[in-house]
């Protein structure tokens, strides 16, 4: 894979962004699970936020596990096993997490539900470590950030659709009179999601995605010699802080919106999903707008887009 290619490789990029869609789908679906679990398990608002905590803490722990494994291997794990294998492995880990929803729903166990979400997040952590640099590598480096923004737009497509589908799976149609929750209704949607993870893992494994793109792969010697040097760049540290604050605001707003709508606006839990979707859709519009350069280098067309 040359870093000098002049066009985005859409045949490889489109299969890749399916994982971005999944990340958004599950993350936004958590916003529906929060009020559902709060009611079903009689939780306080603080306790209900453990849904988001379990899911997003897994990203940090997953990255630490990845670093520790790479350290003891004395080689970068992803470069060692390949990008496609890493994506497939991450999807399999996430699929294992969805399987926990079945016994958790049968036994009515909130901790087991959280464990399932945590394992799904662990798989996503590995997937994101692979997919983000790969999205940049599948085309000219000058439009790499726009390609990543476009992938973020696909992610937000998942966040827009996810709450609607999960809410429908739990409560039924918008005109349904079902207002109370049987916690077992969450297990089928997540088992289907797990099957989708496995299907995409197989499809990506046999796709045309490069297993070791030159644009993002370094030799073992350069990795060992430069280990730790990345943190010497202040823009990286500031970028990490910016992402931490941004994601915190984005996620905490969506996670607490259902409680605000129920307590202060008088909404029923089953009627909240469209508004959660609108929140995420507004972010999707901004990300698609920021990605226009990934489609064309013609300024006039960029303005129209």
pLDDT in tens, 275-296: 999 999 988 888 888 777 766 7
- Rounded CA separation 130/82 (Å): 9
**Res 125 pLDDT > 90:** yes
Per-residue pLDDT of 203-243, as tens digits, reads 988 888 888 776 555 555 544 555 557 778 889 899 999 99
- Tokens in use for 139? 């085309």
Q: Is the pTM of this model over 0.85?
A: no
Torsion angle defined by CA atoms of residues 245, 250, 254 and 260, in that order, rounded to the nearest 10 degrees:
60
Residue 296 DSSP SS3: coil
Per-residue pLDDT of 144-164, as tens digits, reads 777 888 888 888 899 999 999
Per-residue pLDDT of 67-91, as tens digits, reads 999 889 888 888 888 899 999 999 9
Q: What is the mean pLDDT of the chain?
A: 85
At residue 294, the pLDDT reads 65
Confidence band for 57, pLDDT divided at 50, 70 and 90: very high
Confidence band for 2, pLDDT divided at 50, 70 and 90: very low
Confidence band for 98, pLDDT divided at 50, 70 and 90: very high
Beta-carbon contacts of residue 195 (< 8 Å; ≥ 6 apart): 95
At residue 94, the pLDDT reads 95
- Rounded CA separation 265/282 (Å): 21
With beta carbons less than 8 A apart as the criterion, state whether 123 and 90 touch.
Answer: yes
At residue 277, the pLDDT reads 93
Confidence band for 97, pLDDT divided at 50, 70 and 90: very high
At residue 225, the pLDDT reads 53
What average pLDDT score do residues 32-56 get?
91
Going from the C-alpha of 55 to that of each of 5, 114, 244, the distances in angstroms are: 37, 8, 15
Confidence band for 179, pLDDT divided at 50, 70 and 90: very low
- Rounded CA separation 57/270 (Å): 27
- Of 106, 119, 112, nearest to 197 (Cα)? 119
At residue 274, the pLDDT reads 92
Best-predicted range by mean pLDDT among 7-16, 119-128, 129-138, 172-181?
A: 119-128
At residue 151, the pLDDT reads 86
Query: Which domains does the chain carry?
Result: 10-213+231-304 (1.20.1250.20)
137 versus 49: the higher-pLDDT residue is 49
């Amino acid at each position: 894979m040359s870093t000098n290619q002049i066009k985005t490789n859409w045949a490889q990029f489109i299969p890749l962004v399916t994982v971005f869609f999944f990340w958004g789908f599950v993350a936004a679906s958590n916003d529906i699970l929060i009020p559902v679990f709060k009611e079903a398990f009689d939780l306080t608002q603080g306790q209900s936020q453990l849904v988001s905590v379990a899911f997003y803490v897994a990203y940090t722990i997953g990255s630490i596990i990845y670093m520790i494994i790479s350290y003891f291997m004395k080689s970068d794990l992803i470069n060692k096993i390949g990008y496609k294998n890493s994506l497939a492995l991450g999807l399999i880990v996430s699929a294992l997490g969805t399987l926990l929803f079945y016994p958790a729903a049968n036994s009515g166990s909130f901790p087991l539900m959280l464990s399932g979400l945590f394992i799904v997040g662990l798989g996503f952590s590995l997937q994101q470590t692979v997919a983000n640099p790969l999205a940049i590598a599948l085309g000219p480096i000058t439009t790499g950030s726009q390609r990543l923004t476009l992938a973020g737009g696909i992610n937000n497509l998942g966040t827009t659709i996810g709450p609607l589908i999960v809410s429908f799976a739990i409560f039924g149609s918008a005109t349904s009179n079902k207002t109370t929750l049987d916690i077992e209704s969450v297990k089928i949607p997540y088992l289907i999601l797990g099957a989708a993870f496995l299907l995409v893992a197989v499809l990506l494994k046999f796709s045309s995605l490069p297993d070791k793109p030159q644009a993002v792969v370094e030799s073992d010697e350069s990795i060992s010699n430069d280990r730790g040097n990345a943190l010497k760049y202040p823009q990286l540290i500031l970028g990490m802080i910016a992402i931490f604050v941004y994601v915190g605001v984005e996620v905490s707003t969506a996670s607490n919106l259902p409680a605000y709508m129920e307590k202060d606006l008088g909404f029923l839990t089953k009627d909240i999903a469209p508004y959660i979707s609108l929140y995420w859709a507004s972010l999707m519009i901004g990300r698609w707008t920021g990605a226009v350069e990934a489609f064309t280098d013609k300024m006039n067309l960029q303005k129209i887009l």
